[in-house]
Structure formats: structure tokens, C-alpha cells
Amino acid sequence: MQHKSKKRYPQFFLLFFVFLFSFYFLYGYRHYLQGPVLEDINVQKWMTLKKQSFLLKGNIKNTRALFLNGRSIRFNPDGAFQERIVLSPGDNLISLLLQDRLGQEKKYTYHLFSQGDKNVKMYPRTLREARQRKDEQEQKESDSEKQKDF
């Protein structure tokens, strides 16, 4: 009986050290196993804006690369990033792709609706539209000159 109990001590210690080493390994690499994380961002899933530009700010963790609509974005070593986004009037789709060192990816998608600035003058799309705007401007100038004469 004494002989069998002496053999169990080395098996118990070996099992204990394997368990301890496994726990230490998993605890040390938990960030890599978790994957990239978007901790904080100043945008909501569906959001309406009155302006045509927006300063996107956020914090990421466990991330090697960050892409905004397919374009690479720089971020600080602590994970903070900010990027100005120009929005077109109407619905805009914003996608963030985070990658970590092990190749894991997470994608976040946001829909922003921009009402647009009323004071922003848009460039004419066609030559006809440009001529029409020029004629309207000349008409306004001639009307204002007639009012000055009276």
C-alpha cells in the first residue's frame, strides 16, 4: 500500500503543474484569444446628423489594424482614434473593420443619415445646370440693380 501512495504524489504534482501552467498561459494570452474589441465610439447604429461632416472618435483594444470603409486609419498606442468623415446628403453607410495579430476580424456597421447644410452650394452636375444657375444669378443681379435705381 505504501508503495502505491508514493507513486501518486509525482502524478498529482505533475497534474497540478500542468494545470497551473495552462491557467497561466490562458490568462496571459486572454487578449489574443478574445480578439479585437471596439470599446467606445461616439456614433450609434442609426443616427441623424444636420451637418455634412462628422468627427468619428473611439477607442479600440487588442487591435493591429483599423479600417474605415476600406481605408486604413491610424490610432494611438493606447487605442484612441479619430477621423473626420464627409457625408453625402441622405443615407451613409460607415463600416469599421478591426484586425488583431492572429488574423481575427470584427466588423461594425453604422447607418448615418445626413440632412445636409442648407447653406452649402453644390457644384452643378451638368453644363445645362451650370448655364441655368448663371442665368438665374444674372437675373438676380439685374433685379437688384433695378431696385437700386428706384
pLDDT in tens, 38-90: 999 999 998 898 888 889 999 999 899 999 999 999 999 999 999 999 888 88
pLDDT (tens digit, 9 = 90+) per residue, 11-41?
777 888 877 777 777 666 666 667 898 999 9
Model pTM?
0.60
Return the pLDDT at 106. 94
Place of cell 452650394: 121
CA dihedral 50, 53, 59, 62 (to 10 degrees): 130
